[in-house]
Amino acid sequence: MLSPSSRLERGGKGLSMISQYARVNLLIGTGHFLSHFYQLCLPTLFVVLQRQFNVSFAELGLVVVLMTGTSAVFQTPIGFLVDRYGARHFLIGGALVMSLAISAMAFATAFWQILALALISGVGNAVFHPCDYAILAGSIPPERMGRSFALHSFTGNVGFVLAPPVVVALSSMMDWHGVLFVVGGLGLPVVGALIFQSSILHDQVPKKTTIRNMPVHELLLHPTLLLFFFFYFLGAMASGGVLAWLITVLHEVKGIDLAVASLALTAYMAGNSAGVLLGGWVADRSARYLAIFVAGLTAFSAVTILVVDLLPMGGSAAIALMFASGLCLGASRTPRDVMLKDAAPPGQIGKVFGFVSTGLPLGSAVTPVPFGFLIDHGHAELVLILAAGFLLASILCMGSAKASASRDPLPAAAE
C-alpha cells in the first residue's frame, strides 16, 4: 500500500505529465492553426486581388495551386529528413518561412510576386504534417493518441474558420497590403513559443524488431500506402474545391449575398472543427469500427453537398446544410489519421505521413484552377457535384486500404 507521501508524489507526477501533454498539443496545434489560416486568408482576398491585378478567377487559382502544390512536392522529402534528424528544427524553420512569405506579399506590386511568395510559403507549409505527426507519436501515449490527433485537426480547422472573418474584419480597417502584413506577423510569436518549449517535443523511436526491412521506395509504393494516399487525395480534391469556390458558387448559382455565402463557408469549417473532436473521442474508444464510421459520415457529407447544389434554397438553409456536411466530414478525419498511424511501422511516421498526407495539398492544388475555369464558363453548378463525387470515390479507397493493411502489414523500411 502506498504511503500518503508516495501517493502525493505519484499524483504530482501524473499532473505534471498531463500538463506536458497539454503543452505539446498546444504547441503543435498552434502551428497547425497557422498552416490552415494562411491557406484560406488568400482566397478570402480573391475578389480584391482580382481587381488589383486584373486577373481571372482561373489565374487566382494558381495562388492556391502553388502554395498547396509546393507543399505536396516537399512533404515526402521532409518526412525522410524528420525520421533521420528529428522534427523540431524543421517545424520551427517551416513556420518561420511561411509567416515571412505571407507578410512579404504585402509589398507585391505585380501578380507574379504573389505567385512566387505563395510558392515559398508552400515550402514552409510542407513541414507540418510529417513533423506534427512524428512529434505526437513520440510525445503522446497511445491511449490519448486519438484525442491528440483530433486536437491537431481541430486547431487546423479553426484556422480555416477564423481566416475569412479575421481577414474581412481587418479589410474594414486597412487595405489588402496591411491585411497580409498583419496576418503574416501572427506567426512570429508561434515560432518563438516553439523555440522556447522545444525540449518537450520528442520523436517516435523505432522499436527493435526482427521483421524484414524493405527498400524505402517499396514501402511508399506498397498497396496499402497508395490506397491511403488516394483516400487523402480525393478527399482533399473535394475540400479544396469547396474551400476555394463555395462562396462564389453560392453567389452565382443561388444568388446568395456574398456576406451570407461567406457565413456558409464559415459554418462548413465550424462544423468540420466540431466534428473532429467527436472523431477523436470515437477513435480512442471504438477502434474496431473506425472504417465503418469513416465511410458512413463521408457519404453523408457528400450527399449533403449535393442537396445544397441541386435543390432550391436560401442562405439560411445553405448555412445549416453546410454546417452538417462539415460536421460529418470532420468527424471522419481523426479516425482516418489513426488508421494510417496504426498501419505505419514504428519510427517511420515521418515517411508515411509525409508521403500519404502529400495527397492533401496535392488534392487541394488540383481543383481550384479547373473549378475556376468552370465558373468562368458559366458552369458553377458543376463544382459541388464534382466535389461530392470525389468524396464518394474516396470511400472506396479507404475500404481497400483497410483491407490491404489487414492482409499485408507494412514492414519497416531500410534507411
Go through the chain and tell me how many residues it has: 415
Look-up: residue for cell 483497410?
402
Q: What phi and psi values does residue 214 have, to the nearest 5 degrees?
A: -130, 155
pLDDT at 387: 93
* 409 DSSP assignment: P
In whole angstroms, how large is the CA radius of gyration of the chain?
21
Domain locations along the chain: 24-206+213-407
* 408 DSSP assignment: S
**Average pLDDT per 10 consecutive residues for the chain, totaling 415 residues:** 40 58 89 89 84 83 84 85 85 94 93 94 91 86 82 84 87 91 93 88 61 60 86 91 86 85 87 85 74 90 93 89 94 86 76 82 80 85 92 91 72 53
pLDDT at 213: 54
Which residue stretches of 45-199 are H helix? 46-53, 57-85, 88-104, 111-125, 128-139, 145-171, 176-185, 187-196
Region 24-206+213-407: CATH code: 1.20.1250.20
Which residue stretches of 214-348 are H helix? 216-220, 223-254, 258-285, 290-310, 315-343
Residue 13, CA distances (Å) to 141, 194, 281 in order: 15, 24, 25
pLDDT at 388: 93
Per-residue cell: 94: 517551416
